[in-house]
Amino acid sequence: MEIHKILVPVDFSEHSQRALDEAIELAQKFDAELHLLHCYQVYPVGVASPYDVMLPPSLERTIEESARGLLSEWGRNAARKGVKVRDHLSASAPSSGIRQMAETLDVDLIVMGTRGLSGLKHVLLGSVAERTIRIAPGPVLTVKWEKAAQS
């Protein structure tokens, strides 16, 4: 299998950093281009709530600017390791945003972190990685990040 484009969805967590580290190694090995993607979701302004709270119209712009800054920083850090990097933002839900970007870019591989939720948290929250694997247009490599054992 030849790898030319690798999509790395990031949520700026340690889990994402571990997946990015793995993707950088693959990109170096295959001389592939990395595409970093961050999906952020902002709920519509004026959604009824029991608190009669309205989200300010500038909220989405502020979130997007913050996400763009963090994503650029992650991209610069990856580029320092000698790989070609492009940044992408999406206001879609993570799994569908990842699928859409993978299709648009025609990537060869998606590399993403997984939090390894278990029990009730997993049942209630599900897993972005699991949903992505189900709907992705190609191969997905999941990277589980584990903290060092504490004594």
Q: Identify the burial level of 48 via C-beta atoms within 10 angstroms of its C-beta, where 0-12 means exposed, 13-18 middle and 19 or more buried.
A: exposed
SS3 27: helix
Q: What are phi and psi of 36, to 5 degrees?
A: -85, 135
**Per-residue confidence (pLDDT) for residue 124, from 0 to 100:** 43
Asked whether residue 150 is assigned to any structural domain, the reply reads no
Q: Which residues pair with 86 in a beta bridge?
A: 35
The count of structural domains within the chain is 1
Asked whether residue 55 is assigned to any structural domain, the reply reads yes
| Closest residue by Cα to residue 142 from 32, 29, 8, 2 | 8
**Per-residue confidence (pLDDT) for residue 57, from 0 to 100:** 72
**Per-residue confidence (pLDDT) for residue 149, from 0 to 100:** 43
Asked whether residue 28 is assigned to any structural domain, the reply reads yes
CA Rg value for the chain: 17
User: How many CA atoms lie within 13 Å of 127's alpha carbon, on the beta-carbon side?
Assistant: 18
Asked whether residue 112 is assigned to any structural domain, the reply reads yes
Asked whether residue 151 is assigned to any structural domain, the reply reads no
Edge-to-edge strand ranges of the sheet holding 33-39? 84-90, 33-39, 5-9, 109-114, 140-144
| Closest residue by Cα to residue 144 from 31, 21, 1 | 21
Domain assignment of residue 36, given as a range: 5-144
Asked whether residue 139 is assigned to any structural domain, the reply reads yes
Asked whether residue 27 is assigned to any structural domain, the reply reads yes
Report residue 16 as tokens.
Answer: 């994402």
CATH number at residue 73: 3.40.50.620
pLDDT tens, N- to C-terminus, the chain (151 residues): 799 999 999 999 888 999 999 999 999 999 999 999 999 877 665 555 566 666 677 888 898 999 999 999 999 999 999 999 999 999 998 999 999 999 999 999 999 998 755 554 444 445 888 889 999 999 999 998 666 444 4
